[in-house]
Amino acid sequence: MTTTAAPEHATVGARIRLLREGMGLSLRDLAERCGVSAPMLSQVERGETSPTLAVAARIARGLDLSLSQLLRIDEADGVSIVRAGERLAGGNPSRGHRYEVVTPPIPGQRAEVAVHTLAPRAATGGPDDPPIHEPGSRETVLVLAGTLRLVCAGTPYDLAEGDSVTFDADLPHHFENPGDGEARFLSVVAAGLRRS
């Protein structure tokens, strides 16, 4: 006799798998990050078991999410809110670069929006920054304050406050702040689009 997983088990498990794969993590990688065994994670992902709240909270931490984000408790009618204090933060403040992702980590989402801040003379592209994006990705940047230089495939492009630029984000690129004041910019990365 075979049993079928309840739909909510499968939904949570599928969500965990999509988030894990989206972060480029293997089952073993996530197991190490969250302290839940790889076999248990595999069972949850396949919808064969439902994690307890304690296990789900550990999995959420391993995916850099809150428990409510993982379980989508805060969502209603297709609306996701990311509160200012809940943004996923990154960069390296000691090098003068920090960013906050303002879009929620929803499986299948094709775009990510982040707000970046660069100190005077600072640049992105260090070891703590996100990697170059997946093949076919496009990025649009809007300069919110200060001056910004995009260096894409070795060519520099100078931008002032209010300027925007769109480029193939799978090419080697980084941003520099050549000014004397802080630079802030909004970045929108659309994943996996084909060049036309």
39 Cβ contact list (under 8 Å, min separation 6): none
Does residue 4 surpass a pLDDT of 50?
no
- What is the per-residue pLDDT for 137? 86
Is residue 58 located within the same domain as residue 123?
no
- What is the per-residue pLDDT for 123? 92
Q: What is the CATH number of the domain that holds 62?
A: 1.10.260.40
Residue, of 137 and 179, whose pLDDT is higher: 179
Is residue 122 located within the same domain as residue 186?
yes
- What is the per-residue pLDDT for 86? 80
- What is the per-residue pLDDT for 194? 45
Is residue 58 located within the same domain as residue 117?
no
- What is the per-residue pLDDT for 15? 83
In whole angstroms, give the CA distance from residue 168 to residue 105: 22
Closest-CA residue to 34 (of 13, 51, 55, 9): 55
Is residue 58 located within the same domain as residue 136?
no
**Banded model confidence at residue 8, pLDDT cuts 50, 70, 90:** very low
The amino acid at residue 77 is: D
Q: Do residues 69 and 19 lie in contact, with contact meaning Cβ atoms separated by under 8 Å?
A: no
Is residue 60 located within the same domain as residue 113?
no
Q: Is 16 helix (H, G, I), strand (E, B) or coil?
A: helix
Residue 78 covered by a domain: no
- Phi/psi region, residue 187 (left: phi>0; alpha: psi -120 to 50; beta: rest), is beta
Is residue 156 located within the same domain as residue 61?
no
In whole angstroms, give the CA distance from residue 32 to residue 20: 12
Residue 128 covered by a domain: yes
Number of domains in the chain: 2
- What is the per-residue pLDDT for 127? 54
pLDDT tens sequence across 146-159? 999 999 988 999 99
Instruction: Pick the last residue of a domain from 71, 103, 124.
Output: 71
Does residue 9 surpass a pLDDT of 90?
no
Q: How many C-beta atoms lie closer than 10 Å to residue 93's C-beta?
A: 12
Is residue 56 located within the same domain as residue 139?
no
Residue 1 covered by a domain: no
Beta bridge partners of 90: 99
State how far Cα 132 lies from the chain centre. 12
Instruction: Pick the last residue of a domain from 37, 71, 105.
Output: 71
Is residue 101 located within the same domain as residue 179?
yes
- What is the per-residue pLDDT for 3? 38
Q: Do residues 192 and 134 lie in contact, with contact meaning Cβ atoms separated by under 8 Å?
A: yes
Residue, of 77 and 66, whose pLDDT is higher: 66
Domain span at 52: 7-71
pLDDT tens sequence across 91-148? 788 889 888 888 887 665 678 899 999 999 999 986 555 557 777 889 999 999 999 9
pLDDT tens sequence across 21-72? 888 889 999 999 999 999 999 999 988 888 888 898 999 889 888 787 787 6
In whole angstroms, give the CA distance from residue 155 to residue 167: 12
Does residue 196 surpass a pLDDT of 60?
no
Is residue 56 located within the same domain as residue 118?
no
Helix axes 53-62, 27-34, angle to 10 degrees: 110
* Confidence (pTM): 0.58
In whole angstroms, give the CA distance from residue 45 to residue 39: 10
Burial of 172 (0-12, 13-18, 19+ CB in 10 A): exposed
Residue 176 covered by a domain: yes
In whole angstroms, give the CA distance from residue 59 to residue 71: 11
Residue 195 covered by a domain: no
- What is the per-residue pLDDT for 58? 92
